[in-house]
Structure 1
């Protein structure tokens, strides 16, 4: 394919003639041949089929593309993406609505519970209707019987009775795809030949008044959206209990602006079925309540009226709903607040949201999410000063933290807001909050990060002595060392905590005492605990950056690398980092010993040898080993940063 692209560029540059030559066909033919050979051996690889389809589309090989789709679907009838691509190609490229319908109907016969197929068939019918209605509106066809005849008789098989039945699919049908295409091409060529010989073509029967009346939009079942509604009814029979599936149909219907392909009675039917089948689901009730909003775009004339109707409906369902209903009310109003640019509407939404929180509080309707929504709303919209905003939000958070002590999000929000206040208020309240938070949320990386940031800032502001901070760090290391290992993906955060706390300790010690303090700390920690690989690599980085006592640093670095290898003997990057250091410092004899040790320990010797060669050539990039976590601390939060935190 790259060669063919290069040939085309060179031909365009060097050859002025537009006459086609054998080279114009040889390249694509060779590519198709390779694809066919590949797919004979790897029939099950969907990615290759998709590449093949994309290439055929790119080269405009319509006949070949039809055969590719037939073969791919025959081999992978359960893959909805292939069906959808085939139907889209028939409709968008060939303008063949009948073939697109048949493809999706066959797909649904084989995959009755595949939601995306039902949605795409529904979308296809609405797009077809919208296209016809838009064309009629522009050309004024609705009142012209001649244009109606010319327009609708183009699609001869558009009878709704044929379209609503899903035909059965057999293996023979797929095998006959190619033969059908060839026979159709032969018949078309014969028709063309006959017409050239002077034979009269069949004329269409004149359009009577009765037929013209039936072709009008309000009389035609297809243009009224009846086929699309049959798709919806059949879809919800096959997948009756999925709310997201129902909502998908509404999202598709509401995505059309003008002309709307579905009539109001059809959209009302969808809302009625959702309300009836999911009457106990808050999300469904909220969807029905916001129907008046979804009927209009933000800049349309009836939008304000729709908002008022939806707000009234939301208040009604909140009267008898639970906390989730109130949360959805807030979320929907906030979404509309951010969507509109009109100031009066923004003010209206703002008043409504404030009223929701006030009413929920009076009715004692509380939840963790509702509290968080209230806090975020205050922080994002209030025009008060940073300190006043924080105090107002904290008053709510204090009540929420008592009601939901196990909520990590509420505790973190409380800590971050307190850090925007004065140092005296921070030192008065944060120690108690951290003591409670570290017991309840011992496995939260964010809580540990906030705690380490607090004690480092407290030392810098002279609210804590050096001994107190070091004691706090030692206690943090002791607690995190006792955490169970991160053996599952869900517990990956624990590994991050165990790596980072020790690295943060070293980073702070290096700032306050220098390399001697760092050596004292890591030697002490190695005796008391089993540090992670990241801890040793952080020590090595600090030692490498130290140039005060080069001999002592070299001995310390070698010792630390040895400890790091013991921590993870199969880690190739540790060996490569060690070898790189030994080569740079001219310790060749030791480098040979380490290389021999590495070749015995690593799992993939060939890959390691390749990486070692790249390291010698200067092409190998040394990883961070998680050491960057030591620098990822917000230790200086001034008023400007506080403003940024609140606005975010």
Structure 2
């Protein structure tokens, strides 16, 4: 180990001597640098190496290099250091540390990304090329790395061929990766757009308006290939040739035959043939995913003059997915989407509801939905149609148009019910819609009851039915019936809890009845599944919510003594969890008095330390409370008990010392 450390230290002697000689760093600072690097090298040469040691060393070297650059600039040594080894010695050391780290931890993708990011910031293109190659070799199935490399080749190296080859290789390895297909497709469209921009600058092709030369660059993400951001600068360069003589201009002038050959309409590549081929290959590989195809439409819309290509996507969806409700819904809704000139940073948008073209477009959508329902009369297709109408019903404000959509929705819901295609979601949407338009209460109740007869598991329908009941006892009865069918619904238990509290405030239920109902609810919730498994997270939360609400209700209605009786009963019968004890401590601090409160808080903390949840945090909180009450002897007892129970005593001691430093005490642990 010592030999390796000595080797690395000896390599930096010439650099440090030069830094001292040029007064960039003082002798004291040089000694500090040597000491720091020595400590870092010993950490890096340990038998079991840790990533954090490499990161600390890299962070130190980056900060040191930033300081060196600032001092060089302040001393005016930029010109004197040109070509000198000092100019790049710091960066070389950082790259060397990154190289050693990635060699040791080849599987850590975050380390590779930090390496790439540093090289990008320093515009080290030669080094960056090698980093990308190594990273892909170790992580060939990471699509983001392939996309990042292709983006870099296209944008910074201007090497479209290399970018294309990279994404083709990535697709051979991961043909089912949708992101790769989308970014390869985007890459080809960017390439075409860039050629078109150059042609306009050269005068080969005229375009109306200056906006046509601008291209959006909305996606600012390493996993997305960015659109080109050139044109204005190129245009200015090509306009700076006014001083050229006529003879040179004639040499650059193209005759009509050459221009005809270069016309965009005669060039299949510029017509988007490559992008179309990529799309066709993509849907052959991934044939049945409508969201995958919709993304191609979204990418097309980022570019100019792509209406015919978008139509090709629509045609393939219609050809391949006639029996897919989501696809038919997408095709039907397309009439309301138009491509407009660039306005306020957007090139594509939905037709405004105030636009005269909106109503004809909406009617076209409705007609296509009707046609789809005739060919594909399934529940999913009805859901697509209803959601489409509800969406636009919520957006429009013009009275006649809103009335039209309202009548159409009512007609659609009735037609769906007549066709016997109603689903639980459709019943829920129907009931919500009728409430929104303030339909007759009896009609709403009738629809809700019909929905519950068919789908008793619908929580939303049970809640709506209970909300329409004015009688308190009947409302509680409905919630009980609903909970029998949906015992693990968090939403339903929350509504039931709120109902209990409301009935208690209105004195529909007296204190004894409310207490019995809360106790029964806590009992049911405990029997659900008192587990910390992710699959039962809602059930655990139900139990905590009911128990905490029970205690808080008790404290608000009859005071802290009644609350203490309630939480002791819960602790005895219902196996409460850590958050419940914290809630009880909060209630004690809020409602308890200075004389009796501390005794019960200590009781609650003592019970909490018996749980396994955040044992160290509980003891720290307990000790903080005891210090605040100046019960230092009791704190010593709790501290000793914690040291026996906690696995990491050293870490606990550090936290205790920090805690003690905030409390003045005549005693020490």
TM-score (norm 2): 0.73
The 2-side partners of 1:98 and 1:349 are apart by: 52
Matched residues in 2 for 1:75 and 1:29: separation?
23
User: Residue in 1 aligned with 2:386?
Assistant: 330
Distance 1:413 1:137, change over 3 A: farther
Instruction: Report the more deviating stretch, 227-236 or 205-214.
Output: 205-214
Report what 1:19 is aligned to: 79
Contact kept? 1:90, 1:100, Cα under 8 Å: yes
How many angstroms apart in 1 are the aligned matches of 2:411 and 2:63?
63
Aligned to 1:531: 576
Q: Report whether the alignment pairs 1:451 with 2:496.
A: yes
295, 314, 327: which one aligns with 2:369: 314
CA contact (8 A) 1:298 1:340 kept: no
**Cα offset for 1:282?**
1.0
Contact 1:78 1:111 in 2 (8 A): yes
Is the Cα–Cα contact under 8 Å of residues 390 and 409 in structure 2 kept in the other structure? Answer: yes
| Cα shift readout 1:625-645 (whole Å, capped 9, x = no counterpart) | xxxxxxxxxxxxxxxxxxxxx
Assess if the C-alpha contact under 8 Å between 1:84 and 1:104 holds in 2.
yes
Aligned to 1:178: none
Q: 2:536 aligns to what? A: 491
Aligned-partner Cα distance in 1 for 2:443–2:263: 62
Q: CA deviation at 1:339?
A: 7.0
- 1:391 Cα deviation (Å)? 7.4
Contact 1:570–1:603 (CA under 8 A) maintained in structure 2:
no
Matched with 1:500 is 545
Superposed displacement of residue 337, structure 1: 5.8
The reply to whether residue 120 of structure 1 matches residue 172 of structure 2 is no
1:561 aligns with 605
The Cα offsets for residues 219-271 of structure 1, whole Å up to 9 and x where unpaired, read as 21211111112112222233333333233223322343xx224x62x444433
Q: 1:2 aligned to 2:47?
A: no
Structure 1: runs of 5 or more not aligned:
145-203, 620-648
| Aligned-residue RMSD, C-alpha | 3.4
Tell me by how many angstroms 1:484 deviates. Answer: 2.2
- Give the distance between the partners of 1:354 and 1:51, measured in 2 at CA: 57
Q: Deviations over 1:127-147 (max 9, x none)?
A: 222343455567752379xxx
Alignment partner of 1:356 is 2:412: yes
Deviates further, 530-539 or 502-511: 530-539
User: Per-residue displacement from partner, 1:468-503 (whole Å, max 9, x unpaired)?
Assistant: 111111211222222222242110111112222122
Following superposition, the deviation at residue 541 of structure 1 comes to 3.0
Q: Relative to 1, partners in 2 of residues 1:34 and 1:413: Cα closer, same or farther, differing over 3 Å?
A: farther
User: C-alpha displacement at 1:395, in angstroms?
Assistant: 5.1
Residue 63, structure 1, aligned to residue 126, structure 2: yes
| Distance (Å, rounded) in 2 between the aligned partners of 1:57 and 1:401 | 60
User: Per-residue deviation at 1:299?
Assistant: 4.6
Greater mean alpha carbon deviation, residues 510-519 or residues 575-584 = 575-584
**Does the residue aligned with 1:218 lie in a helix, a strand or coil?**
helix
Counterpart in the other structure of 1:239:
286
- 2:445 is equivalent to residue 402 of structure 1: no
1:103-137 residue CA offsets vs partner (Å, 9 max, x unmatched): 21222223222221111111111222234345556
User: d(CA) in 1 for partners of 2:659 and 2:496?
Assistant: 39
| SS of equivalent to 2:553 | helix
Alignment equivalent of 1:298, drawn from 346, 350, 364: 350
Q: Does 1:219 align with 2:263?
A: no
Distance in 1, Cα, partners of 2:647 & 2:110? 31
1:427-479 deviation digits (Å, cap 9, x = unpaired): 26412221112212222222222212212221211211111111111211222
CA distance in 2 between counterparts of 1:315 and 1:298 reads 21
Aligned pair in 2 of structure 1 residues 317, 525: CA closer, same or farther (>3 Å)?
same
Provide the rounded CA distance (Å) in 2 between the counterparts of 1:464 and 1:20: 89
How far apart in 2 are the matches of 1:136 and 1:570?
Answer: 66
Distance change in 2, residues 1:505/1:143 (3 Å): closer
**Residues 448 and 226 (structure 1 numbering): CA distance in 2 closer, same or farther, change over 3 Å?**
same
In the alignment, which residue of structure 1 is the partner of 2:327? 284
Within the alignment, does 1:369 sit opposite 2:425 as a pair?
yes
Further displaced range: 304-313 or 57-66 = 304-313
Equivalent position of 2:640 in the other structure? 596
Structure 2 CA distance for aligned equivalents of residues 289 and 82 of structure 1:
37
- 1:552-586 per-position Cα deviation (integer Å, ceiling 9, x unaligned): 43433333333222343872222222222222223
**Counterpart for residue 238 of structure 2:** none
Partners of 1:68 and 1:303 in 2: CA distance: 53
1:241-280 correspondence to structure 2 within 5 Å: 241-256=288-303, 259-261=304-306, 264=308, 266-280=309-323
Give unpaired runs (5+ residues) of structure 2.
Answer: 1-61, 208-250, 340-348, 664-669
Cα distance between partner residues in 2 of 1:345 and 1:558: 66
| CA spacing shift, 1:44–1:345, aligned 2, 3 Å | farther
Alignment of 1:103-114 (within 5 A): 103-114=166-177
CA distance 1:253–1:389, change in 2 (3 Å): farther
Task: Determine whether 1:571 maps to 2:615.
Answer: yes
Quickly say closer, same or farther: Cα 1:569–1:409, change in 2 above 3 A.
Answer: closer
**TM-aligned CA deviation for residue 205 of structure 1:** 12
Aligned counterparts of 1:569 and 1:599: Cα–Cα separation in 2: 16
1:254–1:295 Cα contact (<8 Å) kept: no
Question: CA separation in 2, counterparts of 1:102 and 1:508?
Answer: 68
Partner of 2:609, secondary structure, is: helix
Give me the whole-angstrom Cα distance separating, in 2, the residues matched to 1:399 and 1:111.
Answer: 49
Superposed counterparts of 1:40-51, under 5 Å: 40-51=103-114
Q: Match of 2:16?
A: none
C-alpha separation in 2, matches of 1:350 and 1:10: 72
Equivalent runs, 1:74-85 vs 2, <5 Å: 74-85=137-148
Distance 2:392 2:195 in 1: 32
In structure 2, the CA distance between the partners of 1:272 and 1:26, relative to structure 1 (3 Å rule), is same
Match of 1:513 among 533, 558, 562: 558
How much does 1:85 deviate?
A: 0.8
